[in-house]
Structure 1
Amino acid sequence: MDSITKYYQIIYPILKEYADLPYRYGEVKRHLIVSEDKLHYLFMTWGWENRRRLHGCIVHLEIVGDKIWIHEDGLEDGIARDLVNAGIPKSQIVLGFHPPEVRPHTEFAVN
């Protein structure tokens, strides 16, 4: 099994579970968007809450080679924790939302 298929089988169910949770109130929807090549994963919300338009990316993951880059992580406990709990080693996860000079000080991959 190639790394893209392996990662898809782990990432998709995790993000799908978040996307299926109902939003607390308002007419806000959650969506999981996966690129056709299964290299990009976007967990998005959009809709209306108290007459205010909401639209945003909660999580953006990208598979680059044999690593998962986390470009955006707006989850309360962090998507990295979910990935590690699902069996992805920290050495295969890059916290891309941190500047390159900060990454060596995390427990995760640098690039």
Structure 2
Amino acid sequence: MDNPLEQYQMIAQEILDDYVRYQPSRGNIELQAIAQNNHYLLISFGWQGDRRVHSTIIHLRIVDGKFWVERDETEEGITQDLLDRAVPKDNIVLAFYHPEDRQLTEFAIT
């Protein structure tokens, strides 16, 4: 694929599709993948006993040719999913870290 943005969009969608297949083992929880305007989210919602569940598990953005990992509540880590799909570390921003702390990682700062 010649267009890097389209390639990254496809990668993001594949990752969401993989995670949305997971069925939580407890409670009546539904997972929903949402993709719009280069934002990719996986949310969970429902009930676990008497407790309401509604949270963002993954928030991934594509900005200026890089993946920005805004939120990652997965066990393995979405960053590893990106690396497994040959996304270079300098095209991954760990946005959940403070900008000053990002320089301590092996990944892009901005």
TM over 0.5, shorter chain: yes
- 1:17 Cα shift? 1.1
Which amino acid is 2:74 matched to? L
Distance 1:23 1:16 in 2: 15
Q: How does 1:62-77 map to 2 (within 5 A)?
A: 62-77=61-76
1:106 and 2:105 are equivalent in the alignment: yes
Q: Which amino acid aligns with 1:25?
A: R
Q: Equivalents in 2 of 1:31, 1:89: separation in Å?
A: 27
Name the residue aligned to 1:12: 13
SS of 2:103's equivalent in the other structure is helix
Residue 32 (structure 2) aligns with: 31
- Partner of residue 43, structure 1: 42
Unaligned runs of 5+ in 1: none
2:4 equivalent in structure 1: 3
Q: CA RMSD in A?
A: 0.9
The CA deviation at 1:11 is: 1.4
Q: Deviations over 1:44-83 (max 9, x none)?
A: 0000001210000011011101101000011112100110
- Kindly state the Cα deviation for residue 8 of structure 1 after the two structures are TM-superposed: 1.5
Q: Distance in 2 between matches of 1:107 and 1:8?
A: 23
Q: Tell me the TM-score normalised to structure 1 length.
A: 0.94
Distance 1:99 1:25 in 2: 33
Is there any run of 5+ residues in structure 2 with no aligned partner, and where? Answer: none
Take 1:18 and 1:4, find their aligned partners in 2: how far apart are those partners? 21
Aligned length: 109
Q: Displacement, 1:3?
A: 2.6
Aligned counterparts of 1:67 and 1:17: Cα–Cα separation in 2: 21
**Secondary structure in 1 matching 2:100:** coil
The separation in 2 between residues aligned to 1:9 and 1:64, in whole angstroms, is 15
- Aligned-partner residue type, residue 109 of structure 1: A
